[in-house]
Amino acid sequence: MNVRNENGRRNPGKDPFAAWTECLKEEQAAVLCTLLAFSPSPGLPSGVRLFIPENGEPLGDLGDEALNRLAVEWARKKLDTLHPQSETCIFSLPGGRQAEVFVDVNLPPSELMIFGAGHDAIPLVKLAVQSGFKTTVVDPRPAYATEDRFPGARIILADAGLWEERVIIGKRTYVVVMNHHLERDRVAIRLALNSPAPYVGVLGPRSRCQRMLEALEKEGVTFGEEKLARMYNPVGLDIGAETPEEVAISILSEILAFRKGCSGGFLRGRDSIHQPVRK
């Protein structure tokens, strides 16, 4: 149905393509569906679109109510996955009709939040910023958590007491805990595992991580299996990394692989480069 104002013109500001463009500019999560073909009608439809923001109501029309509904459902489902890809889908409709729709996904930049501003965080932040991550460093030590040491990153100079109001972890925030300090690591792990973060990397050997979890348990803080499944320790891919630069490559590679559901092994001999082998 058309939303028209009194003089019969379409509502200004009700244009799905303009809304989509705004989302691209503001780096917000959204899906734009564009109708490519609608059997049995021949030809390429012109500018028939439906815009579905992650936060907000759909806008536009694919020319069929059932198709609109299917597309909105599909888009919402996609936006719930970690790293959805754009694709052309065929939707089957009542009465044997089929619609071919290009589903374009726009995502906000992934965020990387690093707890610990030590010397080994420097190359990790550098790589992450270069790779397009919105990067944040959290550390209570003013001599370490400086913008000079971490160009391009946001610095949160705060200890755990202030985190609640200053540290915001969302469902697209990847966390790495690397304080080299048991106490600070422990509170960071507690915060991260209780947040929506999909990935919580913890630097150091398993025995150390285990000890921190046991200490938390003594404080009465336990995590279910689901929460613990998001913890990656020892952190990084198995590339034999030793120096801080190598460790940074190992950690960021793991995050990239995790984000797309890739296994992180060698591509050699693989038939398809872009099809992730699901873990």
Partner 1 sequence: MKENREIALAMEEGRRAGRKMALATVVRVKGSAYRREGAKLLIDEEGKMTGVISGGCLEPDVAEVAKQVMADGHPVMKRYDLDEDLVWGLGLGCPGTVDVLIEPVSWNETTSEADVSRSSDGKGVEERGFAGKEASS
Question: Judged by CB, which is closer to partner 1: 17, or 223?
Answer: 17
Cα–Cα distance for residue pair 97/100, rounded to 1 Å: 10
Task: Judge whether 269 and 241 are in contact, CB under 8 Å.
Answer: no
Encoded tokens for 8: 């019969």
Count of other CB atoms within 10 angstroms of residue 237: 19
Least distance to partner 1, CB of residue 135, Å? 14
Could you say which of 33, 38, 50, 137 contacts partner 1 (CB under 8 A)?
50
Contacts of 203 (CB under 8 A, 6+ apart): 116, 120, 176, 177, 178, 180, 233, 234, 235, 247, 251
Q: Is 97 in the site for partner 1 (CB under 8 A)?
A: no
Question: Judged by CB, which is closer to partner 1: 29, or 176?
Answer: 29
Q: Is 267 in the site for partner 1 (CB under 8 A)?
A: no
Per the rule left: phi > 0, alpha: psi between -120 and 50, beta: everything else, 107 is beta
Could you say which of 13, 40, 42, 269 contacts partner 1 (CB under 8 A)?
13
Q: Is the peptide bond before 40 cis (omega within 30 degrees of 0)?
A: yes
Question: Judged by CB, which is closer to partner 1: 85, or 92?
Answer: 85
Site string for partner 1, 102-131 (x = CB under 8 A): x-xxxx-x----------------------
Among positions 25-44, residues that touch partner 1 (CB under 8 A) are 25, 27-28, 30, 34, 36, 44
Residues interacting with partner 1, by CB under 8 A?
A: 1-4, 9-19, 21-25, 27-28, 30, 34, 36, 44, 46-51, 53, 55-61, 63, 65, 68-69, 72, 85-88, 102, 104-107, 109, 132, 273-274
